Amino acid sequence: NAGVTQTPKFRVLKTGQSMTLLCAQDMNHEYMYWYRQDPGMGLRLIHYSVGEGTTAKGEVPDGYNVSRLKKQNFLLGLESAAPSQTSVYFCASGVEGKGGHYEQYFGPGTRLTVT
Amino acid sequence: SQQGEEDPQALSIQEGENATMNCSYKTSINNLQWYRQNSGRGLVHLILIRSNEREKHSGRLRVTLDTSKKSSSLLITASRAADTASYFCATGDSWGKLQFGAGTQVVVTP
């Protein structure tokens, strides 16, 4: 099992450009999440999905869109990149354990720089 | 805003010593989880403690939870150089979402 994979690993964008980050998981998890991590801060939730075809906003959704067309994939889009979106982006998938408690499994991250 | 806040922000110890870090949170929780992040890598789940539990052990890890004080602690016993990492607490809700703290950077020197 590859677990959670993210593509690409690194990317540099110019302000106003668009891009899509791809997350894939092979663990058949229902839940998937996109976070961003900035220096000195913990992870902040951008968007998440509780199943194929569903998405919901997290804590910091502005400037991002997502899609979950297939259960194993969760895409994060930046339509018009801004320097404030320079960050490390992590994808995670989640599984429900006993009593409705969820553990999350993280991908290796995508380092995005917007100039 | 972040739900959890870790203390201390940074911790430097020698191999064999114990490392203790604390996490405080603001609102009611379903569970509290601890994750480790090695430099430049993704987060790895360490341990989950439910809101009705007070203490949990996993190998050299011991987690406590005091819901009346809205706080948790993570103890790593007999630390090793390989324990050098950032440690994050995260509070979980019943919808599977997590809110992370800013983390504690732990450096274990041989």
Whether B3 shows a pLDDT value over 70: the answer reads no
Distance CA A5, CA A24 (A): 5
pLDDT of res. B2:
54
Measured CA to CA, the distance from residue A33 to residue B61 in angstroms comes to: 27
Using CA atoms of A12, A17, A18, A21 in order, give the dihedral in degrees to the nearest 10.
10
The stretch B49-54 carries a mean pLDDT of: 94
Q: Which residue's structure tokens are 């553990």?
A: A103
If you average pLDDT over every residue of chain A, what do you get? 94
Amino acid at B26: K
pLDDT reported for residue B25: 94
A42, B94: Cβ pair inside 8 Å?
Answer: no
Residue A41, C-beta contacts closer than 8 angstroms, at least 6 positions apart? B2, B102
CA B90/CA B102 separation, integer angstroms: 10
Summarize the confidence of residues B2-20 as an average pLDDT: 89
Please state, for a pLDDT cut of 70, what percent of chain B lies above it: 97
Is B90 touching A (CB cutoff 8 A)?
yes
AA identity, residue B69: K
pLDDT at B1 over 70: no
**Strand pairing category for B104-109 and B10-14:** parallel
Any chain A CB within 8 A of the CB of B59?
A: no
**Which residues, other chains included, contact B59 with Cβ-Cβ below 8 Å and sequence gap of 6+?**
none
**pLDDT of the residue at A101:** 74
Q: Quick one: pLDDT at residue A33?
A: 96
Residues of A in Cβ contact (< 8 Å) with B91: none
In the predicted model, is pLDDT for residue B40 greater than 70?
yes
* Residue B83 near residue B96 (C-beta atoms within 8 A): no
Residues of chain A with pLDDT under 50: none
Asked whether A110 and A59 are in contact (CB, 8 A), the reply is no
Q: Is A86 helix (H, G, I), strand (E, B) or coil?
A: coil
Output the pLDDT for position A41: 80
Among residues A45, A27, A54, A24, the alpha carbon closest in space to that of A89 is found at: A45
Segment B77-88 shows an average pLDDT of: 96
Identify the band that residue B5 occupies on the pLDDT scale cut at 50, 70 and 90. confident
pLDDT, residue B6, reads: 87
- The predicted-structure confidence for B89-109, as pLDDT tens digits, reads as follows 999 987 788 999 999 999 999
State which residue of chain B sits closest to A4, comparing Cα positions: B42
Option in B50, B98, B101 nearest A104 (CB): B98
Mean pLDDT of B48-70: 96
How many other C-beta atoms can be found within 10 angstroms of the C-beta atom of residue B31?
23
Neighbours of B13 (CB within 10 A): 17
A76 — phi, psi (to 5°)?
A: -115, 125
Residue B67 has pLDDT above 90, yes or no: yes
Distances (CA, A) of A93 to A33, A73, B96: 6, 10, 10
- Mean per-residue pLDDT for B46-53? 94
Percent of chain A with pLDDT over 70: 97
